[in-house]
Structure 1
């Protein structure tokens, strides 16, 4: 099975990325999350990592002081720019690798990452948080949003590697089946990982998603 780099996978599937938000059974969770994310980030200067096509950027922008939305893929950023309402002129977009943020990353009071944590290998999560903390500084609010695995709604897990990372088979528009890293964290595991780099950790678990907030330390 071909294991495809995440940036390439999302570049090839950019047009369909937001269709996952159309699943009927997830609408109640998503309505709650949109309100909660907006409430948490109201008034903040936000660095958004792996913004994709900008679904959550459009949630955050109306309430934030400013949003700098980044992604490694120009293909998804092009759609994010196109879909961003003109009235939300507090948003900037830039190509940036969440693992290698520029030294002049800027001054932010909050970092938001939607559906990025699940694409970070378990053995690399501590390193990711450490480099993020080094770039944005301490006391910055960290908000993470990701999936809960639900039989019948989530894509089936195809395999688990020796480190405990899980992988799914997904279809490209060409019909080719590829393998994509997708981890599903328990609350206890999340708390353990986040505690190495953050304090004041709060996790809220919904049927289809989880939301974590913390302060980088």
Structure 2
């Protein structure tokens, strides 16, 4: 009997315990991450930020240093509780349970940020997600996305579906396996899919990562 592979992404992220090691702090790319952090500071200083899929608060911790305010959201309440243990300033950071694909939240925002989340959005859903963000943040709002690049010889893809979405297999503590959408976008695919939905779009490519900045329209 073959082993069952689960596909519930929210459940997977609720059970994993190595956020920084797997997605963010790649020892071979820390210089690039430092550049991204500095660029993020320049962009988000003084902004009222809606953060999507904040997880354990890795990026929230950074944003709290210079944003006017941050509403950090995640679909998993237990991850928000983990993020709260960072003891970020309450006058700056608030938390809310919300689905990043359709964040039903209240607030006045000037910017939206997502770190290592856009790769989990299926290609066929991207336009709808941008439309939802435009409704919440407003036209002209700043959008900043940071995510992983495909690394030849390192990145492992389990399969590709008919829409071009790629998937990886990850194992959580306890040994259960999950098949997770993980799309690795080239500059051309980002421009092709998001260019018509955004304005002033720029893609910055780093070792192991990419960063997109744009205005919602």
In which range does the TM-score fall when normalised by the shorter chain? over 0.9
Choose from 15, 18, 21 the match for 2:20.
18
1:58-207 superposed matches below 5 A: 58-86=61-89, 89-102=91-104, 105-154=106-155, 156-207=156-207
Cα deviation, 1:113-139, whole Å, max 9, x if unaligned, reads 111110000011111111211222100
Whether the 8 Å contact between 1:54 and 1:84 is mirrored in structure 2 is no
**Distance in 1 between residues matched to 2:163 and 2:42, nearest whole Å:** 36
**Distance in 2 between residues matched to 1:53 and 1:191, nearest whole Å:** 30
TM superposition shift of 1:197: 1.9
Whether the 8 Å contact between 1:68 and 1:92 is mirrored in structure 2 is yes
Secondary structure in 2 matching 1:195:
helix
The alignment yields a C-alpha RMSD, in angstroms, of 1.5
TM superposition shift of 1:152: 4.4
TM superposition shift of 1:153: 4.0
TM superposition shift of 1:99: 2.2
**Distance in 1 between residues matched to 2:87 and 2:150, nearest whole Å:** 30
**Distance in 2 between residues matched to 1:80 and 1:107, nearest whole Å:** 22
**Distance in 1 between residues matched to 2:87 and 2:32, nearest whole Å:** 23
Cα deviation, 1:139-186, whole Å, max 9, x if unaligned, reads 0000011110113443x1011011100000111111122211100111
Report whether the alignment pairs 1:35 with 2:38: yes
Q: Answer with 77-86 or 91-100: which moved more.
A: 77-86
Secondary structure in 2 matching 1:196:
helix
Whether the 8 Å contact between 1:54 and 1:83 is mirrored in structure 2 is yes
**Distance in 2 between residues matched to 1:199 and 1:43, nearest whole Å:** 21
**Distance in 1 between residues matched to 2:141 and 2:25, nearest whole Å:** 32
Secondary structure in 1 matching 2:158:
strand
Whether the 8 Å contact between 1:18 and 1:53 is mirrored in structure 2 is no
TM superposition shift of 1:92: 0.5
Whether the 8 Å contact between 2:8 and 2:178 is mirrored in structure 1 is no
**Distance in 2 between residues matched to 1:43 and 1:208, nearest whole Å:** 28
Tell me the TM-score normalised to structure 2 length.
Answer: 0.93
Q: Answer with 18-27 or 160-169: which moved more.
A: 18-27
TM superposition shift of 1:26: 1.8
